[in-house]
Structure 1
């Protein structure tokens, strides 16, 4: 998923400018110890994620607070996503970027406990969004449970098969059990869940087995379910053992072993969850949700067993078994109780997490049919995320900022406000949406109009828009690449490029079929012309439209997938880059083709900017809305192979004699033009022998041996020229690659790109680069 943010308007450009200035200052005043390395580290920039939406792709474990009604999702890279109601989402980032293997709320306490892979127990303060306390545990924790309404961990299971139950008031061990305490021939039974006969396994196994999962199977704390690495499941009756001063009167029903399969090699039971039967008043039945226990190599499913017994574990039986299909590789699951419930209560919803980052929901009302032997198939519902990323698959995004065009801004704000009143979703069985927690930001209550627009394109050809003025996004509308009454081939192909001009209120959408759809916003119903533009001719049709975005033109010029789109001159022109290195320019007034050129054959064009972008739509340089007010300029074309070509935006002629490119092969991500630099007073503080000066001098001198490239340049004078140009008002071209950020003088790109061979100043090393 790419995020295209260049040319988005005043506020976005200012953020890029400030970011570039910060990088430049860091490069100039870099610590002397890193001079020889020539690179900045991620810690030098201290970049942090401000807002995050959706389910992280590395999601691995779930937790739920039934009082606050919050869902927490731990990841494999040390993040925790917290989701509440009304589109409220938050992101916690651990100081240690390690996977979370356990996660649980201290219910209604404002704290969240996470256990990492190195057995680091972290206690997160939810209000301050930071780690309040941390403890390094000596042993390997495989499962744990927190006492409801307290700050205590009651129950801890270790990988050596040991189970410890603590008496918290007495501060002493109440129960200590292991697999070697089990003697099934004398005091237990084996229950086969399936049709095949049991394999000949010994019931008197004396070796401890690793515990993989654990859960209470009763509201009173009398039954404990434990899953093991070899696929066994044990249900322990600990009611008599946990009563001080009393002996076990019925040792023969202390434990029941469940075997999901008769195979000798079975999957570990890594997840166990219990949902009591709301018809069972004596806490003698319910549903056990299991992942694992089946034969190794069998299809991944989530198994649900409906179990019943009488006092203790007497007359134990399995009355039903069901298997729920998974949408991907299993990661975790969690049962969500009804609002206002106490203890272990009947399930309102089942959340199932699969890789990569997919969350599905089952209505708890429909799960009850499994107890009645009904064969009604159960279908999962996609988790209703605010910004979908996988269903449908998100392919390209853009954040656009603007501070003018009040009519357009107010109209979109009204549409977003109307969508806020739709309410929370209802599950298929009629259950209300169970996530309602969180406190909305006060900023969302103000009425300042829409200032930022977030746009996403999807694989199914749809485009969705959100009001991104405040941290909690508000959906505005969704549109699809189809035109009523006009048949266009590949019209609904996967979206591959986006750009938006807030002056003309036109949204440009490119797709994998080589088409570009142009949508204009209308604040009322009426008629307009639809234009179909191709290399042979143009067609026009009269179309009726309502309020919102409607397609006014489809451009079919480039016969390969569209990779980038960029508005020029306040929306007067549209530049289009393709998969095979072609660039076409469209006149937005007449919808005619101005030129089509092969800029960088063989490599996709991924970014297009002009030297007027930083002067357009900014608070310091407001536009009158007349496209003719903007001057023509140079257009920079970036290919995926990190080659940059400068062309005339009027004629399409190439200006630079050869592409600018890094000295070594690299893969480009994006390109930005930075207007402005550090103040004149800061020029005097550039130290001699600094990283910036040394690298430029080294680059130019290293290539001075090539007389064809440097016959008109002197290396030392060239270095001085580069440094002076870097602090001029319109100085920077920022090239973002997968391994580094590179900052170039824009004038040097035009004048001496051939001589330099693209020797830019590398600012961030691939080994220490931060994720932007």
Structure 2
């Protein structure tokens, strides 16, 4: 049999496949191509040549699933009945998440950013508003979600959408201040338009700005609350086509939310204030507070704070209501991180986030707006993370996220894929990794629990290993649709920490990540694990279920080489293998703690990083057995390792 050449297959996949002369023979109806022998002893011509070499025509590459956090998220929606979550992005993608294993990806063909998402609650449909001023109706009741209808706004820009529960009318606010109504079944505009100049008083000539909020009254679905950017709020009667009341405030509005009884609503403003309005007395706010403003003396105006970008006002049957908002911190706390504030009774809790807040939603027990909401969790969409806060416990712990959102917590620098691993290996890695997980998570089940999925018949164990810029390595179970982290290994614990204030020759070539992983080798059968890093080292790990305290064996290798003169007929062009030694005299791989040569002296036999010399406690799992380091030679830094091969059978 001919030698299997998989490289040719890959080359054929990447290149355009031209018509092959042998392909016509493969379509003939001949049998197995055996030759006949004539009486004269001469072999006959083969009827058909058997093609034994694999070609690109036998393979097809396709996307199966996406892992990780949605890139540049912009919008968030939740179906409280089916308990599924949708995330929109700046690139026009929509990610739909449910229980672990339920993960769906959709993409707008235009690639326009998703401005807003609205579920048709418990109907298996979703409305998306894009930055190209187009509305899309998605059908989620099929294996691959698809767009059923699209509606393009040509003359106005969409700023806000609202779809009441169990309603067939979608309200669309625009930048001009007008409100349009779309029939959700036919997905066409009705003739009903609430013009901005009809909504405000005729005596008011100033344009109220874009529509920033739309919501129907919890008491009467025939009445619509319209919020304008400049601080104007209009309570519009859809039947009589007139404004029932108007509210004016001197601070810009960012968001509005109703009390479930429909008698009061709360606004968040650009000065960091919250105003509570009563429908019976709309002339002035019933209550005004600046939650994070300093208390001033009587007669003095309260200190302004940063804008409160969104507020949600959720009631409880057996306790005080929850007031949850983002932003609103004092300006004198410029160094504080983005925060979410939870007000419950007299208690105010500020939850600081690692990344800017894009959007948040409060999860409630009921989808009906005229009932006690009974909030139980808050979903917070950050620029690079998704967090769910448990509201049922007084310390507001977060839920442990079952989705692989932290793949790029530290940038991924290398990956390796392993199929058909030993069946017990995943369980072993998971049991070891579970001992090192963070504590303090909520003891409740993950609240985004909708959808259903099938594991399928092909259930062979698959593992993906990712190496990261900070020297960490993560083992992931890839057997199912959703990645699950099994075990995390920190290679940087093998080395001494670089002290601040010392010389930084390492940073001359490795600017920020001296521990970055470059290559990975793993033998699932023997469980030997090897990694090489950017600072010219190789670490060999062996697996153990028991904790040990031992010294790490270190081997320093003095690798010398000569570069031959490169002969080329074109001296003006750069050689294919440049003289690295001449390019790197000023760019060093040496670690900052290893600079032992005097100033102006020649560095020699110095490794890039210092291996710990004292006994090190190693928890169960992968434990470092040997560290091999290339060292400086005659003032030249060691070259980075470019190839790694291990034979666990021969111990090499």
Tell me the TM-score normalized by structure 2: 0.59
**Is 1:143–2:160 an aligned residue pair?**
yes
Write out per-residue CA displacement over residues 237-262 of structure 1, whole angstroms, 9 at most, x where no aligned residue.
Answer: 55xx3576999699863576789798
Pairs within 5 Å for 1:96-107? 96-107=110-121
2:354 corresponds to which residue?
327
Q: 473, 489, 502: which one pairs with 1:479?
A: 489
Which 5+ residue runs of structure 1 have no aligned equivalent? 1-10, 30-44, 185-202, 308-317, 370-375, 561-577, 590-624, 631-772
CA 208–57 in structure 1, closer or farther in 2 if over 3 Å, else same: same
Structure with greater helix percent: 1
2:422 corresponds to which residue?
409
What is the CA–CA distance in structure 2 between the aligned matches of 1:295 and 1:306, rounded to whole Å?
20
What is the CA–CA distance in structure 1 between the aligned matches of 2:642 and 2:340, rounded to whole Å?
56
**Equivalenced residues, count:** 492
2:454 corresponds to which residue?
441
Are 1:61 and 1:102, in contact at CA under 8 Å, matched by a contact in 2?
yes
Shift of 1:436: 0.8
1:550 corresponds to which residue?
623
CA 498–137 in structure 1, closer or farther in 2 if over 3 Å, else same: same
Are 2:515 and 2:534, in contact at CA under 8 Å, matched by a contact in 1?
yes
**Is 1:159–2:175 an aligned residue pair?**
yes
CA 508–525 in structure 1, closer or farther in 2 if over 3 Å, else same: same
Pairs within 5 Å for 1:476-625? 476-481=486-491, 494-502=515-523, 504-511=526-533, 513-521=535-543, 531-535=553-557, 548-557=621-630, 581-583=639-641
Write out per-residue CA displacement over residues 375-408 of structure 1, whole angstroms, 9 at most, x where no aligned residue.
Answer: x8x7877855325135x424324132345xxxx6
What is the CA–CA distance in structure 2 between the aligned matches of 1:539 and 1:304, rounded to whole Å?
44
Write out per-residue CA displacement over residues 198-256 of structure 1, whole angstroms, 9 at most, x where no aligned residue.
Answer: xxxxx9563231123445674765986655444x373x555xx3576999699863576
1:287 corresponds to which residue?
323
1:388 corresponds to which residue?
406
Which 5+ residue runs of structure 2 have no aligned equivalent? 21-58, 246-277, 294-300, 500-512, 559-604, 606-610
Pairs within 5 Å for 1:648-667? none
1:85 corresponds to which residue?
99
Pairs within 5 Å for 1:651-690? none
1:211 corresponds to which residue?
211
Shift of 1:449: 3.8
1:21 corresponds to which residue?
12
What is the CA–CA distance in structure 1 between the aligned matches of 2:306 and 2:60, rounded to whole Å?
43
What is the CA–CA distance in structure 1 between the aligned matches of 2:442 and 2:419, rounded to whole Å?
43
Shift of 1:75: 0.7
Pairs within 5 Å for 1:109-124? 109-124=123-138
Shift of 1:76: 0.7
Write out per-residue CA displacement over residues 555-576 of structure 1, whole angstroms, 9 at most, x where no aligned residue.
Answer: 222579xxxxxxxxxxxxxxxx
**Is 1:76–2:76 an aligned residue pair?**
no
CA 428–523 in structure 1, closer or farther in 2 if over 3 Å, else same: closer
What is the CA–CA distance in structure 1 between the aligned matches of 2:121 and 2:438, rounded to whole Å?
25
Residue 411 of structure 1 aligns to a residue in which SS? Answer: helix
CA 267–285 in structure 1, closer or farther in 2 if over 3 Å, else same: same
Shift of 1:437: 1.6
CA 121–552 in structure 1, closer or farther in 2 if over 3 Å, else same: same
Shift of 1:26: 3.7
Shift of 1:108: 2.0
Q: 397, 401, 415: which one pairs with 1:398?
A: 415
Tell me the TM-score normalized by structure 1: 0.51
Structure with more contact order per residue of length (Cα contacts < 8 Å, sep ≥ 6): 1
Shift of 1:118: 0.8
Pairs within 5 Å for 1:150-189? 152-163=168-179, 176=194, 178=196, 181-182=199-200
